């Protein structure tokens, strides 16, 4: 059996500081939201559309994101879509789509209020193989975070 294609790439900025937590088995989980701007022409005027995407990272990648990312920081995220489905106490079905990141590239820090570049940090590279191993077995447990 072959997997269908489920891959995406987004670039944008964090809208708030990331939330780093740990599963009961000790696997790191980091969640953050990325805002992506899209500009287009309509009736000779430039329009702006902003989309917000929830991103989840696992294991060493989650730890790096929790340490280095802050609100406003630009990122490029490569990952896959994941859909959660549940029924509330009234029996109404719900669905939510999030991005499970397999790779996160940290963009240079935005300038501070004095116009100086932000502190440059190393860009940690965490291979997807290391991040995915523990993540798959603990996905269901971590969905309660």
Backbone φ/ψ region at 68: left (φ over 0), alpha (ψ -120 to 50), beta? alpha
In a domain, 77, yes or no: yes
Q: Are strands 45-58 and 93-106 parallel, antiparallel or unpaired?
A: parallel
**108: domain CATH number?**
2.40.50.140
Give the mean pLDDT of 41-63: 95
In a domain, 27, yes or no: yes
Domain range for 80 is 8-142
In a domain, 51, yes or no: yes
In a domain, 3, yes or no: no
Distance CA(96)–CA(100), nearest Å, equals 13
If you search the block for the tokens 């879509």, which residue do you land on? 81
In a domain, 1, yes or no: no
Q: pTM, whole model, 2 decimals?
A: 0.74
The strand ranges marked E within 5-119 are 8-14, 19-22, 28-42, 45-58, 74-87, 93-106
Closest-CA residue to 109 (of 55, 70, 78): 70
Distance CA(66)–CA(53), nearest Å, equals 17
Whether the CB-CB separation of 54 and 33 falls below 8 Å is answered with: yes
Whether the CB-CB separation of 62 and 29 falls below 8 Å is answered with: yes
pLDDT at 10 over 60: yes
Give the residue with greater pLDDT, 106 vs 132.
Answer: 106
If you search the block for the tokens 């340490």, which residue do you land on? 67
pLDDT tens profile 79-130? 999 999 999 999 999 999 999 999 999 998 756 666 665 554 444 545 444 4
Distance CA(74)–CA(106), nearest Å, equals 6
Total number of domains in the chain: 1
């Amino acid at each position: 059996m072959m997997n269908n294609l489920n891959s995406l790439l987004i670039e944008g900025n964090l809208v708030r500081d990331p939330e780093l937590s740990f599963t009961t088995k000790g696997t790191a989980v980091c969640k953050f939201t990325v805002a992506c701007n899209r500009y287009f022409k309509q009736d000779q005027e430039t329009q702006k559309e902003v989309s917000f995407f929830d991103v989840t990272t696992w294991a060493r990648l989650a730890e790096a994101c929790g340490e280095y990312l802050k609100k406003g920081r630009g990122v490029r995220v490569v990952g896959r879509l994941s859909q959660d489905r549940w029924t509330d106490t009234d029996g109404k079905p719900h669905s939510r789509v999030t991005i499970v990141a397999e790779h996160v590239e940290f963009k240079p820090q935005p300038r501070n209020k004095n116009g100086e570049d932000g502190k440059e940090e190393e860009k940690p590279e965490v291979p997807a193989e290391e991040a995915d191993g523990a993540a798959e077995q603990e996905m269901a447990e971590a969905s309660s975070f």
